[in-house]
Chain A
Amino acid sequence: MELNYKNLLPFESPIAELYKKIEELQKMAKSGKIDLEEETKMIAKRIDVTRREIFANLTPLQTVQIARHLQRPTTLDYIGQIVEGFEELHGDRNYSDDPAMVCGIGKIDNLSCVIIGHQKGKNTKENIARNFGMAQPEGYRKALRIMRLGDRFGKPIIALIDTPGAYPGIGAEERGQAEAIAKNLRAMAELHVPFIAVITGEGGSGGALGIGMGNRVLMLEYSIYSVISPEGCASILWRDATKANLAAAAMKITSKDLLELGIIDEIIKEPLGGAHHDLKQTAQNVKKTVLNNLKPLLSMSSRELIADRYNKFRKMGIFAEA
């Protein structure tokens, strides 16, 4: 079996311990030529049980760590698995091409779609190139251009969301980060085609919502969706960024909580240990759930689709009225 501790998170240390034991047993087996297969099997079983236990009792902040895992599949990973003949389309036609936002066309199960999504990297070099998945205004404008391409030519839109947030920088402000996101929100409400948004990792605030107003909003099991990062919330409301665990719990940011709140429509199952343990399986789950949710939308008229989307977001909000 593969002993990969590198990808284990701090809270998975009991699993790392068991991995070490297996490693020791394997060494002993090699040197002493004794058969320790039974013992190894038992420990492997214990790893499975321990992992199930850990993942059944994840705290919200642990879920955040999985959602941000450096090896977590990215938009291009999913595209590679589920989109046939993906052709990336570049640029916002105004300023530049934002590598933190990937857009293009292709087929999912023989259905022509436009695909947009934030793109993170898997190491420092890639992350610098992709700006850690934090899009600039031109990223949002490119996404809008491609959404409108789908809109005009009758192709469904699939958005894959994975961003810490829209980039907070001088240039981003100067070029209208707020305006770009606001315009996307207004425009997404008016799209005539089916639109599915999937939160695959981090759903970071306005940067996530900026491409996320789907007729259906789906969420991978261990992804998060939040108005502000737990650290940001903690440093403002608790005046202490180390209280992120409290903020993460208080804000209700996990897929389970958001399903209960009616913010998302369906949770997409992840393999045990998280999406990064099995990209193929996760991608298949994503594909299947997206197609299932797309099906009823495909038979709706554009007027119905717009009304469906409008009503979905119009209803969101909890308040009292005398």
Chain B
Amino acid sequence: MTISIHDFFKKKKEKSNQPPRDKLDIPGDLWVKCYSCNSTIYNKDLEAALKVCPKCNYHFKLSASERIYFTLDEGSFEEINAAIRSRDFLGFVDSKPYAKRLEEAEMKSGLPEVVVTGEGTIKQWPVAVGIMDFGFMGGSMGSVVGEKVARLLEHALTRKIPAIIFSSSGGARMQEGIMSLMQMAKTSAALGRLRENNIPYISVLCDPTTGGTTASFAMLGDIQIAEPNALIGFAGPRVIEQTIRQKLPPGFQRSEYLLAHGMVDIVVHRKNLKKTLVYILSFLDYKGS
């Protein structure tokens, strides 16, 4: 029996029961199109390159589980505070009820919330690690993100181990109103305690990190690392353009631009990120209590 290529891919897609991993335009599971240079990449090659386009170095967004897999020692990650869930306490309804959005986000991302937190090791160095997954409601920060980040930082403090947070977030979650704003205060205050007790905090800024997340824990790292070409800012580029009514300079709010303006310590290609983290962790030399 012969089938067209189109049908071949279609069948594959139907067979897979897994939720889509990313917003990638994946025909079947074999090939991926790069968002940036449009070249077609064999998916296995992309995975092997830590989801960085081999042609143009575009860094695809990572899911939380991919980030854990690429960064931490295999099997070392133990999640904490996994049972915290968002609640629609305002009864917020825009084009959809917030409760419904949460459900859909969980279906889509396979995660119950934006941030996954826990403890693991990177080349044997113990770390308290938080990973934000942009696939869940645009990585927006509501009460759960704030609470899980605060608890993660408190965990680092108790265990006397460095904290690392990989940020990727559109900012505060409007569906939680002012409560989402207060998470900025909560997480920053928790970072104050780490600082006071000389517990290191490494912030890794991934594409994109904007709004309230940037204006709180993402910008408070003792060391600030950015992935290449990540959009990092306080206001979104569209808001700025509308406010000042002029075109934005090339590369504006991208990692390299922030580096040039003194806002991050280093921009690190994903293939070198683990190595860099290990170097910093060994430099800091915190083995935990």
Contact = CB atoms under 8 A, between A and B. Distances in A.
Interface stretch (B13-21, B57-65, B157-165, B210-218): B210-218
A246 B93 CA distance: 9
Interface string B241-261: 001100011001100000001
A177 interface: yes
B95 interface: yes
Given A228-B172, A253-B177, A179 B87 contact: no
A43 to B, nearest CB: 41
Chain B contact surface mostly: helix
Given A175-B261, A261-B179, A318-B179, A185 B189 contact: yes
A177 B174 contact: no
Contact of B233 (A173, A190, A226, A313): A173
B178 A176 contact: no
Contacts of B179: 261, 263, 316-318
Given A176-B219, A189-B188, A317-B183, A168 B234 contact: yes
B196 interface: yes
Contacts of A209: 181-182, 184-185
Contact of A186 (B182, B195, B233, B235): B195
Interface stretch (B37-45, B48-56, B117-125, B142-150): B142-150
Contacts of B176: 227, 318
A225 interface: yes
Interface string B216-235: 11111000000000000111
B71 interface: no
Contacts of A206: 181, 184, 211-212, 215, 234
Query: Which residue of B172, B216, B234, B239 has the most chain A CB atoms within 10 A of its CB atom?
Result: B234
A302 B63 CA distance: 43
A207 B91 CA distance: 26
A251 B92 CA distance: 7
B1 interface: no
B180 A189 contact: no
B239 A168 contact: yes
Classify chain A's interface size: 35 or more
Interface in A137-188: 166-170, 172-179, 181-183, 185-188
Contact of B177 (A182, A185, A252, A309): A252
Given A175-B261, A178-B215, A233-B174, A227 B220 contact: no
A214 to B, nearest CB: 11
B240 A169 contact: yes
B146 A238 contact: no
Contacts of B94: 237-238, 246-247, 250
A319 B115 CA distance: 14
B158 to A, nearest CB: 15
Interface residues of B, number: 61
A129 interface: no
A134 B279 CA distance: 41
A189 B86 CA distance: 25
A258 B177 CA distance: 10
A236 interface: yes
Contacts of A313: 182, 185-186, 189
B185 A172 contact: no
Interface in A217-263: 225-228, 232-233, 236-239, 246-247, 250-253, 258, 261, 263
A6 interface: no
Contact of A236 (B174, B177, B196, B263): B174
Query: Which residue of A186, A226, A227, A253 has the most chain B CB atoms within 10 A of its CB atom?
Result: A227
A172 B177 contact: no
Interface of B: 83-87, 89-90, 92-95, 143-144, 146-147, 150, 172, 174-186, 188-193, 195-196, 211-212, 214-220, 233-235, 239-240, 243-244, 248-249, 252-253, 261-263
12 contacts: A168-B235, A173-B233, A185-B189, A225-B178, A227-B174, A227-B177, A227-B181, A233-B174, A237-B175, A317-B146, A318-B179, A319-B85
